[in-house]
Structure 1
Amino acid sequence: MTTQSDSPRDFWTGAREISPLAVGVAIYGLAFGLLAVQASFDALQVGVMGGIVFAGGSQIVAVQRIVAGAGAVAAVVAAVALNLRLLLVTASIRDVYAGRPFWQVALGAHVTTDENWALMLVERAKGRNVGYWYLVGGGVCLWLTWCLATVMGVVFASAIPDPKALGMDFAFTAAFIAIARSLWKGRSDLLPWLAAALVVAASIRLFGIEPSWALILGGVAGAGMAGATRRG
């Protein structure tokens, strides 16, 4: 077993090597910022939200729920449910956090995303001894990119009299599709995705549950199925 590197210099290596992926993050960050304006978010609110939440899919779902009039509580719970998968992501690399002080664990967990997690695993598979600082470097790069792009999206949208007239109301859907596509890792994701989709559809069609809560149930079901299949 290769011992992971613990050099802070790996921070800059991780940031540099994830920069091509940061371009994609910037694109759907702009889309999120453009449409967050429709929920009456200003640049400061979007920047703070991105800095604290830092989860594209969850932020999109939360703002969509607010636009739909579901209320703040339902929006927050739906966003949290969608992000339950990150518990599995961070658990899969618990060796990275082992023995570290709390602030490092908290920082690493906050900036862990699908992109820098996957990049680190790919590099490890190639035989490189990358670890905590490589992961955090990539994560901080993506975090800064996301926050800047979302704020720029708000600034740009604020200068447009009617974003819907330009078809920008579709940007939420397009951005969410792009994020969902980036989360697909292969056949191992099929059962969790199907479980989530079926629970959401059944909740709405058969039981008449409000879509916000149906999304929450679907997120929990998908996370549960992922945990069960990967333990197996």
Structure 2
Amino acid sequence: MSDDFHKALMSLPEEFRRGLRDITPLSLGVAVYGLAFGLLAASQGMNTLTTGLMGALVFAGSAQIVAVERLAADAGAILAVVAGLALNLRIVLMTASLRSELSGRPLWQIQLGVHLTSDENWVLMHATRNKGEAAGYWYLVGGGTSLIVVWIISTALGAAFAQSLPDLSESGMDFAFTAAFILLLTSLWKGRRSFPPLAVSAMIAASCAWLLPLDPSWGLIVGALAGAGFAGMQHHG
């Protein structure tokens, strides 16, 4: 069995295997995050199967958490879905930037790439390129495969053993994933020109969250759009 698995793994594109390997530290953080989500889902009456299926079909950690939190606050199913979709709009911007990676590929590969694109493997792909290493479509998919498998398993386990697991947020373990992601983001820094778009994005997001009667997730979307727009003007100006 192990020999067959090794042969199957080695038959995959080399970039896929590197993506699978390089994402491992973040996958471990996703596991903790997934357990925390499983606990939250179980507290709202979701069983192991439903939680695992949600992870496989939606595969959007922060959006899933926001949606379930809205349900917990009795906001209703429609508002929960809208909040999750709003937070996930950033994926549209991210996949739009993958035009060169997706162009000319079969439809199933395009759909697979889009579904497996997340903050973590998208940032890792660009960070790897910034180091002068090759990282394209299969690198992205390799990282995404690791993340989605870990996410499904950890969320299902969190729901299954909700009664025996401690509240991970009390120990701060749920922040481990966020800390690792912030560290990864630093590799995308390209000098002083990188600061203005980030500052604009942060200020707009914070202003929306504090001053407008909107769900905080909308502030993230508006901030991201503002930062991207400023970066575009900066690049072409």
Per the normalisation by structure 1, the TM-score is 0.80
On the 8 A contact 1:114/1:183 being kept in 2, the answer is: no
Contact 1:84 1:223 in 2 (8 A): no
Structure 1 vs Structure 2 CA RMSD? 2.6
Structure 1 residues 13 and 177, CA, compared in 2 at 3 Å: closer, same or farther? closer
Aligned position for 2:209: 200
SS in 1 for 2:133: coil
Q: Identify the match of residue 112 of structure 1 among 117, 125, 133.
A: 117
Work out whether residues 15 and 135 of structure 2, in 8 Å CA contact, stay in contact via their aligned partners in 1: yes
- Using the alignment, how far apart are the partners of 1:37 and 1:100 within structure 2? 39
**Aligned-pair CA distance for 1:203:** 2.3
Stretch moving more, 218-227 or 61-70: 218-227
Sort the Cα spacing of 1:179 and 1:50 in 2 relative to 1 into closer, same or farther, 3 A.
farther
**Superposition deviation, residue 124 in structure 1:** 1.8
2:102 to 92, 97, 102: 97
**Following the alignment from structure 1 to structure 2, what is the Cα–Cα distance between the partners of residues 91 and 182?**
21
Partner of 2:19, secondary structure, is helix
Aligned to 1:229: 230
> TM-score w.r.t. structure 2 length?
0.79
Q: Is the 8 A contact 1:77 1:216 kept in 2?
A: no
Query: Within the alignment, does 1:121 sit opposite 2:130 as a pair?
Result: no
Q: Is this contact kept in 2: 1:60–1:176, CA < 8 A?
A: no
% identical aligned pairs: 43
Separation of aligned partners in 1, 2:87 and 2:56: 18
Choose the corresponding residue for 2:136, options 128, 131, 136: 131
Superposition map of 1:50-69 within 5 A: 50-69=55-74
Deviates more, 1:82-91 or 1:67-76: 82-91
C-alpha deviation, 1:24, in angstroms? 0.6
Q: Distance in 2 between matches of 1:25 and 1:190?
A: 27
Distance 1:72 1:180, change over 3 A: farther
Hey, what's the Cα distance between the residues in 2 that align with 1:137 and 1:174? 26
1:93-117 deviation line (CA, Å, top 9, x unaligned): 3211111122111110111112211
Task: Give yes or no for contact 1:56–1:179 (8 Å, CA) kept in 2.
Answer: no
| C-alpha displacement of 1:180 | 8.2
The residue aligned with 1:24 is 29
**Which segment is superposed worse, 182-191 or 143-152?**
182-191
Which letter maps to 2:100?
Answer: D
Q: CA–CA distance in 2 between the matches of 1:17 and 1:28?
A: 19
CA separation of 1:38 and 1:223: change in aligned 2, threshold 3 A: same
Give the Cα–Cα distance (whole angstroms) in 1 for the partners of residues 124 and 174 of structure 2: 21
Using the TM superposition, name which of 69-78 and 127-136 deviates more.
127-136
TM-superposed deviation, 1:83: 1.5
Q: Which runs of 5+ in 1 are unaligned?
A: 1-6, 205-212
Residue-by-residue CA offset, 1:71-94 (whole Å, 9 max, x unaligned): 111111111111122222222332
Write the deviation string for residues 171-194 of structure 1: whole angstroms up to 9, x where unpaired. 6x9747954883684644332233
Residues 170 and 118 (structure 1), Cα distance of their counterparts in 2 relative to 1, 3 Å cut: closer
147 and 189 in structure 1: CA distance in 2 versus 1, 3 angstrom threshold? farther
**What is the identity, as a one-letter code, of the residue corresponding to 1:64?**
E
